[in-house]
Structure 1
Amino acid sequence: MKVSYNSILTKQHYQKHTKSEGFANFLPNTPNINSISQVTIPKNDFVSSSSIDSLYQAKFTSQEGYGYSVDAKGFMGADFNKAAGLPQDFKIHKSTLDAIVLHNQKHPNSINFSMETKKDNQLFGEDSFANIDLADTIKQYYKIFDQISAGVISKGKEFYSNEDLAKMPKGYFSKDKKMDHFEYLMGRMTSDELDGLTDRSNEKVTHIFRTAQDAEDAHKLWDDLSDINVEVNGNFLDFSPEVMTTEHTIPYMWVSSAGYDFKPDMSVYDNEQGYTKEQIFVAFLKNEQGLVLQGGTTRITDEARNVYRDTLILTKQDRSEIGIPKAYYDEILSGKKDLKDILARILKLRNLELKKDHTLEGLASKIMDVLKEFDERTKVSLKPIK
């Protein structure tokens, strides 16, 4: 099965916006890179049965709750908080962890949709994990949440209002997020290192979008950078009151209509006095799709790893060179990667010339001016990741 990895946006934010003066408009008749090597993914044929649910729960749960203590109301104990790097008084419900496990079992993640089985040639609803370290996954997400919520979520404040939710970021850009398919396509990782999981343990939030206009500009910038083979790490966020309910989900790419969105029970966090910090954190997990991350004792099965690795090797071989990303946004911004070289490469691969009265240096300079203006407007001061 041939697979393309062309975006890390959720479906909600994957939609292309109308461009007025994107970077690609400086090039004549330029096809959008994201239209190259697309593959249609089946919309259904998922395996769903109570027996699979029971088997999966038996494999990963224990009486204590994934090996940690659980109080009488179902909240994880201090031992889990310590392992997950959460504040001592943090109250995350076991049902939230259950939802992460089930979501990663049932939706076609980068492992599952590349696997083949006797049922419909796809491992939808089967188990590709040998072990899931939930404490480590939560720890990585909380580090990112702690960065994006600074200035809104404060120590000692127990409840938050709709006005507080409105102050939460509309999105962010980041660096040092290791998605192995991008790393492999860029030649920064060998096939032996592939496991289909993402490492976010050292991820640093570099830009925060405080306003709707910032988010709209970020959308356009993301699209334009994609057109010139530059990848962006980050996400767009929704902390509206609706997201605080169980019923409201944030669709995960192509499978939203199949009912496999990450859907934790939000009612366990309800409080008449307002929204709790835990509830806002779980809303963040919903925005991030609750995907299991690489780290700790999390492992996928040897079979899943081998099939995923072989699939990605074929993907790289089959994909046109024009569809291979060459740098990340932060590398262009810092000067680590030369934007002029990337633009020259695109022109050569497409057998194109610059529009009349344009030079390569001039185009690179104009793009950098746009990047620097956005950087100055939305950048955050970086602190060491603990």
Structure 2
Amino acid sequence: MKVELFTPVAYYGDLDAYETWPLRPRWYKSEHGMQSMQFGFEQMEAAYEGGFDSLNLAEHHYTSQLTPVPHLFAAALGERLPDAQIAVNGTDLPLHNPIMVAEQYAMLDNLLGGRLRFALLRGTPNEYMTYGTNPWEAREKFEEGVELVIRALTEPEPFGWEGKYFRSRNIALFPQPVQKPHPRILLSANSVASARFAGRMRCDAGISFMAPEKCGEVVAAYREAAAEAGWAPTADNILYRQFAYIAETDEQAREDTADKWPQGKGLFATDNLDQLIAMATAGAALAGAPKGAPLDPSMAPKFGEPFLGSPETVLAQIREAERHIGMGRVEFAIVPPSNCLSHEQVIRCIKLIGRELIPALHADAPAAA
């Protein structure tokens, strides 16, 4: 099994409320921000030295995660670590012009020498407030955007596009990506509909934070849609992301996270869901959505238990998740949204994974397709 690290490039500084969205610009201190970005590089470097198979970033706005434009951090990281596999997991596609997204990734794949993977995601409901995106249009707009990104990355001649949400008389990407037909693309599979779309588009499937025992239906939908599209995913096409914290003992792991995480803290905590829906509803109303129209239920958080404990405990948790999911890639999200862990704790956790978990997981026979 492959082991990947998701690093949010967390802001390590005094904030009045990490759970508030959006964060107040006046709270930002440049000395803390620059140090935090350096911490992000150090966490990625520790993961690379520890044998992680991919170093992953994501796009978030107005939060304590300092990657609203993750491509810039990924390009800089590629210069520091010229042999590392790097992924942007991912871009919140409904917020952007898909042609620009395709250009950014084509250029980044050249800068990284063909080491790029990326995800195209719908984003969380609060993200739609960033640029005034209508959440009631998000699914259709996202799916059209994915098709347009792939077409732009693979079409050898200029072409036009006349869709419901995007129109262009002339599209001609230059430069083209290094990897052919394009870098591997991951799409969310946190619902049956999104899993089927990932299978139909011949993309990797990413399952984030769901309880493993609840993942069987989406994995089956992904494989079924892939078969209908004429291909068969392997375990390597399935990534499972979960919050994680590993210490030398179960007791130490619980002590380090007690009363902080993941018990009800952070932007994505269950008790904050009403706030997220209210923000998204307000944004959609401004965009002309029907009053009282329900949000897409697949956008609601569905958190399972984190990987938490000693290396032995977490290895058993991963084996149990693999039994339900059949994934060939596990992605550790070590710093939660509320950023309660210190940089030193994160580094220790990464190094412990490298010493104790990665050799065991890399020694696995390939998971069943």
TM range (shorter): under 0.3
TM-score normalized by the length of structure 2: 0.25
Q: Which structure shows the bigger proportion of residues in strand conformation?
A: 2
TM-score normalized by the length of structure 1: 0.24
